Amino acid sequence: MIFSINFALFCLHEMDAIRAKEWKLFILLKDIDDNRAFKTFTILHLPLYAILLYSFISQHIISFIIIDVFLIIHSILHFFFEKHPSNNFTNMYSRMIIYPMGILSVLHLLGLVLS
């Protein structure tokens, strides 16, 4: 259940990322015009979503561990990029999506390791 909630939060975050033009935080996309950067940013999520969905279907513990670690690192990176001039995730709504992903991932990872 924790993993399902985290997946839902991740999907919400990625919708918010389009609003926030998250691609402006990426070195390779920040200088590209918004339309092209948007298309590149969104298409790169295809393999990411495929991996997430595969982890649901496969139920392989290694998939869950990799995704949990990714979401923990993802939350930490957002924390360190709080002051970046192109960061548009500084509102409470965005933060209430991003940081719980990291916390839930820690809990889920601990549950996997301790079980």
Q: What does the mean pLDDT of the chain come to? A: 91
Q: Who's near 6: CB < 8 A, 6+ residues apart? A: 67, 71, 101, 104, 105, 108
CA neighbor of 102 nearest in space, from 13, 24, 20, 23: 13
pTM for the full model? 0.86
Q: Can you tell me the distance from the alpha carbon of 106 to that of 114, in angstroms, rounded to the nearest whole number?
A: 12
| 4 alpha carbon, distance to own chain's centre | 14
Length of the chain, in residues: 115
pLDDT computed for residue 1 by the predictor: 87
The string of pLDDT tens digits covering residues 43-69 is 999 998 898 888 878 888 888 888 899
Residue type (1 letter), 94 = S
